[in-house]
Structure formats: C-alpha cells, structure tokens
Amino acid sequence: MEDILEMTIVQIRELLQKREISSVELTSYFLERIKRFDRGISAYIKVTGEYALAMAREADSKIASGEKGRLLGIPLGIKDIYCTKGIETTCASQILKGFIPPYDATVIRRLKDEGYVHLGRLNMDEFAMGSSTENSSFQTTKNPWDLSRIPGGSSGGSAAATAAGLCVASIGTDTGGSIRQPASLCGVVGMKPTYGRVSRYGLIAFASSLDQIGPITRNVSDCATMMNVIAGHDPMDSTSIPQPAPDYAASLGRDIKGLRIGIPKEYFKDGMETDVKKEMDASIALFERQGASTVEISLPHSEHAVATYYIICTAEASSNLARYDGVKYGLREPGKDIIDMYKKTRFKGFGKEVKRRIILGTYVLSSGYYDAYYRKASKVRTLIRKDFDEAFKSCDIIVTPVSPTTAFTIGERMEDPLAMYLSDIFTIPVNLAGLPGMSVPCGLDRKGLPIGLQLIGKPLDEARMIQAAYVFEKERKVEKIPERYK
C-alpha cells in the first residue's frame, strides 16, 4: 500500500476501477496514517473517520455498478473554510465553533459529484489571515520536513497533510499566497487559479476581490485532475467567469519548445536566501535546456504590492467579518444589552491577528481616510495589473521564487507582523492582478527544507502553467515526501 503515496490520482483510480483495491481499504489506510503521524504535525482540526468510511462504502458500491467519477473513492483533505453540509466549519476561529452549515459550497458539491471521500477538516490561520498557520485558534501545524518550523499559511494544514501523505490531495484558498507559499515550504504543488475561474460560493470570505480556491497536490498530474473537477462557471457566484474551463490534463506531456519565460528583475534582488537563488538559477537553466527562451522583464510597481494588499484586504475583511455578531450563528456571549453582546462576542471569538486586520480595515475605510488609503491602493492595484499586461507582451509565462526564504521556525515572526507580512512579497502581486500562479517544488536547501518555484500565467492560462510545470517536474525530480513518513 506504501506505493499509493507515489501514485497519481489517475493511477489510484485505475486500481479502484479494476477492483484491485477498495475505497474502504484506501480510506482506512489514510485514516491510519493520520492516527499515526498527525499527532506530531497537527494538520487536521477534525478527522471525520466514520463519515469518510461511509462515503468510501458508497464509492465502492458505485464502482461495482460501473460508475466512473473522476475522484470516485479518492480520500481528500479539506481546508476548514468551505461550507460543508452537516459538518462543523470553523475557519479555525472560536467565533464559528459549533457552526454546522445547512448547504455545500460549490467546490464541495463538485467534489461530491465526482465521488471524493472526505477525510477531515484541515487547520489554517484563522479566517485565512496569516502566513504560518500559527494564527489558528485551535493548534499550530508543523512542517513535516522539520517539526520545529512553520508549514506556511494560511493553507498550512492542507500543505502539511499532503506533504506527509495524510491524504491523496487537498484543497486550499489563496488570498495573497495562501496556497503557493505553504506548498513551497512543504515541498508540494499548489495552484491559485485566475480570479473567477473557481466558484467562491460557500467559501467563508476573507477578502472577496482577492480570495481564490485551488488544489494542493503531490504532483502536477493531480493538480490538473483536481482543476478539471473544481474549475468552471457557477451562476451562484457573480464573480465567476462565464465560460467553460479547458481539459487541463490535455496539457500534460506537451513540450515547451519556443516558450518565452519572463524573469522580472525586481524579484531577483537582495534579500533572497543563497540556496533559494541557486535553485532559481538552476530551474531557469532547466527550462532553457528544454527549449524555452528567457527574457528580462520589469514589474516596477511590485515594490508597492505588500502595502497595497494590506490596505485592500483589511478593508474587505472589516466589511466581511462584520456579520459575526453572535446573532445568527456561531459564538454568542451574553451581555447587558445588544451592543455589549456584540463587543463581548467579538472580543472573545476573534484572535489577535483577525482583530488587528479588522481595526486596520475599519480605519482605512473611515471618513476622511478612504481617499488617502483605500482609493489610492485601488489605483496602485491597477498599475500592478498593467505592469503584468505589459510584461506578457514579450513573454508567455513568468518565473519567480515563491518565497525569499525557506520555512522559518515556529514563533520566530509572531511578534513582528511586518516580517510575517513580507513572507508573501512574491505572491501578493499575482492576487492583486487576478492572475493564475503556481508553486512547483524545485529543490531543497542545505538544511533539507523545500524550495518552491513560482509560475505566473496570463489570465485564464492555467493550462500553459500546468504544461510547463509538468515538463519541469519530469526533468527536476525532487523528493516529495519526507523520509520519516514513507
């Protein structure tokens, strides 16, 4: 059964279809791995063992009757940010403890339509606000490659569980790098699709103009498979792009001869760790050996991306999180009147980082400050998008690091919010521009920690990213699972 960890979803599905293994056996295998290894990692907030086995039995029944869902019988881990009917959904926050949604998010419904098995809810930074999964109100997830280090965030539980083989694959969300950064730090593949490519209906919102759902997998093939399931138009989401998604798996195996790769000069300056720079140079050389050409490009407004992001995302968070008042659902603290109840509920229910962002967002939206901050940030956001539009006139895809460093130690940046925010310096511009971005493992540093390569594509051009990433993965074979979890 250990070979399962080296297989793609397509290969596992073939075993299931041939009845060489049952979904119940497969699910039991992963539940046993979670029981054995997750006590050290803390990737799962809640393991839904009985629910998973019931779904597995249903999948086996469907397989026996000849059904062929693309994820039929495949056990996945789910970031605790999607409404899932009948299962507690908390966003790793005390304020939503006990909240059981009465409906499924569109992405969950699509996974169910294809027959997936729900292993459990994965840990995250509270309301997806963080870069280290240290802001969860329940537990701190550890990096499987070094348990003294963070796994990245906010989808740290998803990346850690995938890297340690505690699920076949997982899904996360990316607002400023929350799929790509933990995927990079945990040595797995993570994709943030174009804004609007995957429905956000039923996703618990952080920053509505930036949030996007995407897969975290151990290989590029699985990323394509997951995208084929979750991408596409949804009339329930007004920001969903009204056109069908292509077959992403069709991009696998195509060469990249003639592909023009843009190298932004602003992203290869001081501040990058030596080992990260070394792997970036080796990765670019690999692409050139496979027939791609490189061209230097400029993204001059990227230096303002972090400041712009933390104005826009906090403003949107302040608006989105106003709904958590203890009236309709979640935590409710009694008070002497309704205003007192609001105050006590929000004081107890929200963590430190969430409170910080609500206060910042309320400030930048307040009378007298809106023009100075939010309006100005919106204009800079437009300039950042125009930089990418101009760059893509001379290249097909852009290559950068995902993070300037490998995983830092737990607690190292908790008292320095600015240092924490700068963890996403290379990923944030992609969200501000609404572009697709992808992290692919490209090597290990001298401490044995993973390094991720970021591919940035044109709008709706996820297929080309998958094509390039597949070629890269095939040539640059990188260890995907830490030795201790094999």
Q: What is the pLDDT of residue 367?
A: 81
How far is CA 216 from each of CA 371, 409, 464, rounded to the nearest angstrom? 38, 22, 18
Q: pLDDT band for position 397 (50/70/90)?
A: very high
**Mean predicted lDDT score pLDDT of the chain:** 96
Q: Is the pLDDT of residue 263 over 90?
A: yes
Which H helix or E strand runs over 440? strand 437-444
Query: What residue ranges define each of the domains in the chain, with the CATH number in brackets?
Result: 2-262+394-485 (3.90.1300.10)
Section 400-428 average pLDDT: 91
Torsion (CA) 265, 271, 276, 277 in degrees, nearest 10: 40
Residue 486 has pLDDT above 90, yes or no: no
Q: What is the SS3 assignment for 104?
A: coil
Residue length, the chain? 486
| Number of alpha carbons in the 13 Å side-chain half-sphere of residue 38 | 28
Distance from the Cα of residue 271 to its chain's centroid: 24
Among candidate residues 410, 377, 408, the one with its CA nearest the CA of residue 304: 377
pLDDT digits (tens, 9 = 90+) for 324-380: 988 988 999 999 999 999 999 999 999 999 999 999 999 999 988 888 899 999 999
**pLDDT band, residue 255 (cuts 50/70/90):** very high
Q: List 443's β-bridge partners, or say none.
A: 451
Contact residues for 365 (Cβ-Cβ < 8 A; gap 6+): 315, 318, 319, 374
Pairing mode, if any, of strands 212-217 and 44-47?
unpaired
Per-residue confidence at 2, pLDDT binned at 50, 70, 90? Answer: low
Q: What is the mean pLDDT of residues 1-29?
A: 94
Cβ partners under 8 Å of residue 183, min gap 6: 152, 155, 159, 189, 190, 216, 402, 439, 452
* Bridge partner residues of 398 (DSSP): 262, 456
* Overall pTM > 0.85: yes
235 with 347: CB under 8 angstroms?
no
Whole-angstrom distance, CA of residue 80 vs CA of residue 151: 16
Contact between 297 and 264 under an 8 Å Cβ cutoff? The reply is yes
Q: Which residue has the higher pLDDT, 30 or 366?
A: 30
Q: Give the pLDDT of residue 423.
A: 83
Query: What values do phi and psi take at 231, rounded to 5?
Result: -80, 155
One-letter amino acid for residue 119 of the chain: L
Given a cut of 80, whether residue 270 has pLDDT beyond it is no
| Cβ pair 437, 454 in contact under 8 A | yes
Band (pLDDT 50/70/90 cuts) for residue 422 is: confident
Lowest average pLDDT, out of 242-251, 368-377, 379-388, goes to: 368-377
In tens, the pLDDT along 300-327 reads 999 999 999 999 999 999 999 999 988 9
Mean pLDDT of 439-463: 97
Calculate mean pLDDT across residues 132-151.
Answer: 98
Least-confidence region, from 200-204, 243-247, 265-269: 265-269
Sign of the torsion formed by the C-alpha atoms of 418, 423, 425 and 427: negative
Which residues have a Cβ under 8 Å from the Cβ of 453 and sit 6 or more positions away? Answer: 279, 280, 283, 399, 401, 402, 439, 440, 441, 442, 472
CB 437 within 8 A of CB 224: no
Return the active site residues: 79, 154, 178
By DSSP bridging, strand 437-444 and strand 293-297 are: unpaired
Q: Where are the alpha helices (DSSP H) in 65-128?
A: 106-113
Asked if 453 and 442 touch (Cβ cutoff 8 Å), the reply is yes
Q: In b/e form, how buried is each residue of 390-408, taking b as 16+ CB within 10 angstroms?
A: ebbeebbbbbbbbbbbbbb
Structure tokens at 395: 């290249």
| Residue 480 pLDDT class (50, 70, 90 cuts) | confident
Give Rg (Cα) of the chain. Answer: 21
Checking if the pLDDT of 1 tops 80, the result is no
Q: Which helix (H) or strand (E) holds 77?
A: strand 75-79
Cβ-in-10-Å burial (0-12, 13-18, 19+) of 271 comes to: exposed
